[in-house]
A and B are shown apart, each in its own frame.
Chain A
């Protein structure tokens, strides 16, 4: 079935690194832009980044720019988020999401179940 499954979360110390993965199935992954979105405990949704179909265009939110990097491997139907120099405030559930791109009207029509990242000493 059509789904996204995240993995790679866990406990990491401040200043550490983590790489999240998102496995796509049931649709033609290479045809879609993809995004990462996170949700801190008890808080709202925060968009983090998007990547174009080929991976040639990426965009990151200011809050993670220079520390997080989105990438994809279309041959493996996989999306990634490399997170470096992690801080306590990066503690959150991280979701990957499929992006519907229609002119300047973008939204997220398919979400994974999320993976929890905890940054603590």
Chain B
């Protein structure tokens, strides 16, 4: 089955840029989606189709996807961005949704 690999943690100072990566075989041909989950809350979609943002998501959130790596970029990081972030694709071979293991973003 398809595997998505994320770093367990990323740390960034307020105001800086955070980059959360998600690796997978030839992932650039798939559409990547990203979710934010704060403690005790349900996940929230923050980026879909590699780089689109749902209504209400700040422009500070952006995404890219090419080759074997997708990246969620959070510009001008704020304390409120501290959360777990999950990448997700739909594996058409198995007809499954596949999630990465999640990355904990810590704002220093």
Question: Contact residues of A with B, CB < 8 Å?
Answer: 35, 37, 44-47, 50, 59, 61, 95, 100, 102, 104-109, 111-114
Nearest-Cβ distance from residue B48 to partner chain A, whole angstroms = 5
Nearest-Cβ distance from residue A89 to partner chain B, whole angstroms = 17
Q: A100-B48, A109-B48 are in contact. Are A45 and B92 (CB under 8 A)?
A: no
Say whether B102 contacts A111, CB under 8 Å: no
Contact with A along B22-53 (1 / 0, CB 8 A): 00000000110101000001111100110000
Cβ–Cβ < 8 Å partners of A37 in chain B? 97
Question: Contact residues of B with A, CB < 8 Å?
Answer: 30-31, 33, 35, 41-45, 48-49, 54, 86, 88, 90, 92, 95-102
Contact of A107 among B41, B42, B48, B102 (CB under 8 A): B48
Say whether A113 contacts B33, CB under 8 Å: no
For the complex of A and B, the 4 pairs showing the least CB-CB separation, nearest first, are A47-B97, A105-B31, A107-B33, A106-B90
Say whether A44 contacts B102, CB under 8 Å: yes
Say whether A44 contacts B86, CB under 8 Å: yes
In the complex, besides A61-B96, A108-B35, 5 extra interface pairs with C-beta distance below 8 angstroms are: A45-B102, A47-B97, A102-B49, A108-B33, A114-B42
Say whether B45 contacts A47, CB under 8 Å: no
Say whether A47 contacts B98, CB under 8 Å: yes
Say whether B45 contacts A107, CB under 8 Å: yes
Nearest-Cβ distance from residue B31 to partner chain A, whole angstroms = 4
Nearest-Cβ distance from residue A8 to partner chain B, whole angstroms = 16
Cβ–Cβ < 8 Å partners of A95 in chain B? 42-43
Say whether B100 contacts A104, CB under 8 Å: no
**How far is B30's CA from A104's CA once the two chains are assembled, in angstroms?**
9
